[in-house]
Structure 1
Amino acid sequence: MSFDLIIRGGTVATAADTFSCDIGIRDGRIAALGSDLGTARRVIDATDRLVLPGGIDSHVHISQPSGEGIVMADDFESGTRAAAFGGNTTVLPFCLQERGHSLRQAVRDYHAKAEGSCYVDVSFHLIISDATEQVLGQELPALIKDGYTSFKVFMTYEDLALSDREILEVMSVARETGALVMVHAENFDAIRFLTDRLERAGKTAPHFHGASRPIPVEREATHRAIALAELVDVPVMIVHVSNRGAMEEIRRAQQRGLKVFGETCPQYLVLTEKDMEGLNMEGSKYVCSPPPRDKESQIACWEGLQQGVFNVFSSDHCPFRYDETGKLAPNGRTSFRWVPNGIPGVETRLPILFSEGVVKGRIDLNRFVALSATNHAKTYGLYPRKGTIAIGSDADIAIWDPKREVTISQSLLHHGSDYTPYEGIKVTGWPVTTIVRGEVVVEDGRLVGRKGAGQHLSRERSQYAVAEAAE
């Protein structure tokens, strides 16, 4: 029996098992697992390497409108290239509906941006910013039927925040269609109140961003989002959780039997609020929402990952440059209020989790696979096509050197931003080869894949939401 590719001699890990075997790949899918698989057009020797499902980063922002004069640093070419170098084979960016615009047209425009540019596979979440009758009654249900089976709502940000009534209406559509609702949980009115008070006191430096969005702002909104989801009886994903208070709200809901899920990100494991204290505007490089917290919050986020309160680990990659089009805030406005919220991280997500988690004994290798790939696929309607190493699944594979030591530096990375917030962090373990549907995209630190080979994925309903859909 002949294959297009055989990966030989590696240690294979899934979310459930770790074993030694060879992988035979044919026509972009895994066709055989075993030993002595025969011949192939190409053989990759994975001796002393880990062979893992390709990472799925289910929370990234690429080519997203970000406000007047502000330019997001990554388009689909640079963003998916960076993802591939970070051991990812699929990313799920957000398609943002701007207020007053058609959701369906936003999807068309977003496809146009991605067409012919992607190195890895992509699938779009929707962002609902304008919950009109047209959107809720026609456009959103039709798009969900077409395979856009998850969408995000915001409880903060001008022109994005929905009222509680609007959130309930959107959740009702999810209940009827089996879509999964993602929530950015921060209290908008509280943030505006605190921001105004800080500015009146002359406290405008970037590190006051954290003071404008303290833990109670996130904890309260998390509690409210869960309560709204409970009213409608719909599953909900609370994204980018940063602290114990919000994590415990999710845990309590889970203990009551509610289908509430959580996500955290690298910035909440290795950064703190002190990183925003750089001179002049240097601290703006670390401004994201929710902001990095303190050491105790880091411990809490690790607990959430270890204990299953968080079932996915994403980057929340939201890249800007450190210039007047990005972090320095356009038009000379230097208050933290105007600093674009977001940091790059799609390329460094997995090395940070592997090093800080697996190498340091906080999680085992199988939990790493679950948090980095398998649970994303199950949560967002891609499993078992994606997220595992099994016969019939797409041959999306990352080969890791588990002992390679790397000091993260902007000079090593491939995103469109001109800095990394993780500069100088030392990690052990690094993805060296990334394979998407049987085609090698990155090999030994070299880009060998073809731009445009990445495909858009239409998704099934979430394994966690489908049972909730109304008959």
Structure 2
Amino acid sequence: MTEERATLLQGGRVVSADGEYDADVLVVGERIAAVGDVQAPPGATVIDVSGCRVLPGLIDNHTHLSMPFMGMMSSDDYDTGTRAAAAGGVTCLVDFAIQREPDQLRSALEEWQGRAEGAAHVDYGFHMAITNANEATIDDMQAMTDAGVSSFKLFMAYKGELMTRDDAMTACLERARDLGALTMVHAENGDVIDLLVKRALHAGQTDAIHHALTRPEFVEAEATSRAARLAEYTGASLFVVHVTCAAAAAEIEAAQQRGIAVSAETCTQYLVNTIDDLRRPGVEGCHYICSPPLRDASNHEPLWDYVRRGVLESVSTDHCPFTNEQKSRGLHDFSLVPNGMPVIQHRLAKLWDEGVVAGRLTPSQLVDRTSTTIARRFGLAGKGAIAPGKDADVVVFDPAAPRDYGTHTSFMNVDYDVYEGETASGSVRHTFSRGTLVYDRGQILTEPGHGRFVARSTAVGAGVAA
């Protein structure tokens, strides 16, 4: 029998969701074996992490790798995208498989599993996005939960492409409730957006900024309220993705105060970028087109407050990159620009500087909002904490090691960086996935295929955010 490898991370400061403490972390094989004042066993590799924070691996529960959209494919696949994830301290992601056949979901899961298997550097799971919620599709939802896909996403926007009507959404909520699964919604009023986009284009308003102006805050707040009311009626658990503005977050808090099982996330870019980024000239403005759009800076402090209080219980990225060439398709018509921003590598560094260093979050709150709560909400029982028996998904973050943003330091498969020219005050030194060192001070050490599919448990969506 082969003896399992052992690694001791010595001299660091462990950050958990409920506090910080100086401790060594012993990894044996794929699991954490001990945390505390630990003696290195014979033959163990000892890594001095003095001065560093030792965090549970981040989980990104909202990514779009190799996603077909608007006649093209997002530019990060499961190799490049998970390299970038590891470089940013992410050790597990939950990507979206999107229904392609009208009457079933199985083929979509098989398609996305085929893309990821043998390619990923970190672990991964899937949500299932339902685009045709007919009776046969709803019947197929149990096959997904049996396969370890315990959450379903519905789009209330993208009329004529992905959008789900309220009656179909209600039926999906009921079925997910009965399966103990979680329903996720992209909350925007697609009918109103469609009207505003047509009016803007007719008036010759084609620049990138009009993407945001045709998706005003009220269409997100209204759809968020409507989704919460449907969840209240059905008794289903609801998760609202990528909340961008105070008006929508207020609807979530109101629903929570009524006792409804509604939880929600925001994304890094909504905490640090603004609508003014879309006013940049040429293709640069197109880089910032995502849906829902970036908002006025007046939303930043309220959003940080909702994150701090746990109303918005987590921060993801909605990573969906497209190259300059792909973005340029809509230079003269914003409605043709593929939606999405490249952010997967930057979440930890940005939240450290804009959250912890700026005094908006404690390190423990950062860990909770990027790992521990996400693991609990999405049925990843082996992840989200540094504790004996957990997967050895560990990130060593050096708060005193600056790192430039830019294409020269990015592993993302995109030819620009939306934070080019900025410098993070701290950076990831090491990322371990199930005990294996994937990322080490600027280098990816694993071969594609180290990452594994993680089947997620059901009945995790119940309860109101704390």
TM > 0.5 between the two? yes
* Per-residue Cα deviation, 1:22-64 (whole angstroms, up to 9, x for no partner): 1111120011122242324311111111110011000000011
- 1:17 deviates by 2.1
State the AA in 1 paired with 2:40.
Answer: G
Please say if 1:256 is aligned against 2:253: no
- Secondary structure, counterpart of 1:329 in structure 2: helix
Match of 1:357 among 355, 359, 362: 355
- The answer on 1:49 being equivalent to 2:52 is yes
* Equivalent position amino acid for 1:349 in 2: R
Distance 1:44 1:280, change over 3 A: same
Which residue in the other structure is 1:461 paired with? 458
| Residues 271-420 of structure 1 mapped to structure 2, 5 A cutoff | 271-323=273-325, 326-329=326-329, 334-383=332-381, 385-420=382-417
Change in 2 beyond 3 A, CA 1:117/1:101:
farther
Which whole-Å CA distance do the structure 1 matches of 2:223 and 2:435 have between them? 43
Contact 1:99–1:129, Cα closer than 8 Å, also in 2: no
Tell me which moved more, 99-108 or 352-361: 99-108
Partner of 2:271: 269
2:177 alignment counterpart: 175
Alpha-carbon shift at residue 368 of structure 1 (Å): 0.5
| Equivalent AA in structure 1 for residue 386 of structure 2 | I
Residue 421 of structure 1 deviates from its aligned partner by: 1.8
- What is the CA-CA distance between 1:288 and the residue it aligns to? 0.4
Preserved CA contact (<8 Å) 2:102 2:137: no
Using the alignment, how far apart are the partners of 1:284 and 1:457 within structure 2? 35
CA distance in 2 between counterparts of 1:163 and 1:107 reads 23
CA contact (8 A) 1:205 1:281 kept: no
Number of the residue aligned with 1:192: 194
Q: Distance in 1 between matches of 2:459 and 2:258?
A: 21
Query: Is the contact made by 1:149 and 1:461 (CA closer than 8 Å) also made in structure 2?
Result: yes
Separation in structure 1 between the aligned mates of residue 4 and residue 201 of structure 2, nearest angstrom: 68
Distance (whole Å) between structure 2 residues aligned to residue 437 and residue 24 of structure 1: 12
Structure 2 residue matching 1:57: 3-state secondary structure: strand
Equivalents in 2 of 1:108, 1:79: separation in Å? Answer: 19
Distance of 1:163 and 1:360 partners within structure 2: 42
User: Percentage identity across aligned positions?
Assistant: 38
Q: Which residue of 2 aligns with 1:72?
A: 74
CA distance in 2, matches of 1:100, 1:423: 42
Q: Which amino acid aligns with 2:122?
A: V
Structure 2: how far apart are the matches of 1:13 and 1:339?
40
Q: Does the residue aligned with 1:56 lie in a helix, a strand or coil?
A: strand
Please list the CA deviations of residues 353-389 of structure 1 after superposition, one character each: whole Å capped at 9, or x if unmatched: 1111011111101101001110110010013x10000
- 1:421 and 1:340 mapped to 2: Cα distance? 16
Distance of 1:305 and 1:210 partners within structure 2: 23
- CA distance in structure 2 between the aligned counterparts of 1:162 and 1:75, rounded to whole angstroms: 27
Whole-angstrom CA distance in 2 between matches of 1:391 and 1:447 = 26
Deviations 1:156-180 (A, max 9, x none): 1132100000000110111100100
Deviation per CA, 1:416-470: give whole Å up to 9, x if none. Answer: 1111222233322211100000000011111112210100000112533399xxx
Alignment check: 8 A CA contact 2:130 2:152 kept: yes
Q: Which amino acid aligns with 2:199?
A: R
> Which of residues 26, 50, 62 in structure 2 aligns to 1:59?
62
Do the aligned partners of residues 99 and 194 (structure 1) sit closer, same or farther apart at CA in structure 2, a change above 3 Å counting?
Answer: farther
Query: Which AA in structure 1 matches 2:329?
Result: A
Cα pair 2:9 2:46 within 8 Å, conserved: yes
Conserved 8 A contact 1:99-1:159: no
Counterparts of 1:91 and 1:395 in 2: how far apart (Å)? 15
CA–CA distance in structure 2, aligned partners of residues 90 and 2 of structure 1: 22
In the TM superposition, 1:210-249 aligns within 5 A as 210-249=212-251
Amino acid at match of 2:157: T
1:180 is matched by which residue type in structure 2?
A: L
Instruction: Find the aligned partners of 2:38 and 2:368 in 1 and give their Cα distance.
Output: 28
Cα distance in 2, alignment partners of residues 152 and 386 from structure 1 = 22
1:380-416 superposed Cα distances (whole Å, 9 cap, x missing partner):
0013x10000010000000000122233112210011
For 1:18 and 1:129, how far apart are their aligned partners in 2?
A: 43
Distance 1:94 1:209 in 2: 23
**TM-score, normalization: structure 1?**
0.95
Count how many residue pairs are aligned between Structure 1 and Structure 2: 460
Could you tell me whether the CA contact under 8 Å between 2:138 and 2:172 is conserved in 1? Answer: yes
One-letter code aligned to 2:363: L
- Measured in 2, the distance between the counterparts of 1:60 and 1:335 equals 26
Change (3 A) 1:466 1:305: closer
- SS of 1:432 mapped into structure 2: strand
Report the Cα distance in structure 2 between the residues aligned to 1:255 and 1:51, rounded to whole angstroms. Answer: 35
Aligned to 1:328, the other structure's residue is in SS state helix
Q: Which runs of 5+ in 2 are unaligned?
A: none
Report the RMSD for the aligned CA atoms in angstroms. 1.6
CA distance in 1, matches of 2:258, 2:230: 15
Kept in 2: contact 1:126–1:152 (CA 8 A): yes
Q: Deviation of residue 262 (structure 1)?
A: 1.2
How many Å apart are 1:294 and its aligned residue?
A: 1.1
TM-score under structure 2 normalisation? 0.96
Per the alignment, residue 94 of structure 2 pairs with 92
Separation in 2 of the partners of 1:36 and 1:368? 26
Separation (CA, whole Å) in 2 of partners of 1:23 and 1:399: 11
Give runs of aligned pairs for residues 127-146 of structure 1, distance below 5 A. Answer: 127-137=129-139, 139-146=140-147
- State the 1:243 CA deviation: 0.5
8 A contact 2:242–2:265 mirrored in 1: yes
CA contact (8 A) 1:378 1:462 kept: no
Is the 2:283–2:324 contact (alpha carbons within 8 Å) kept by the matching residues of 1? no
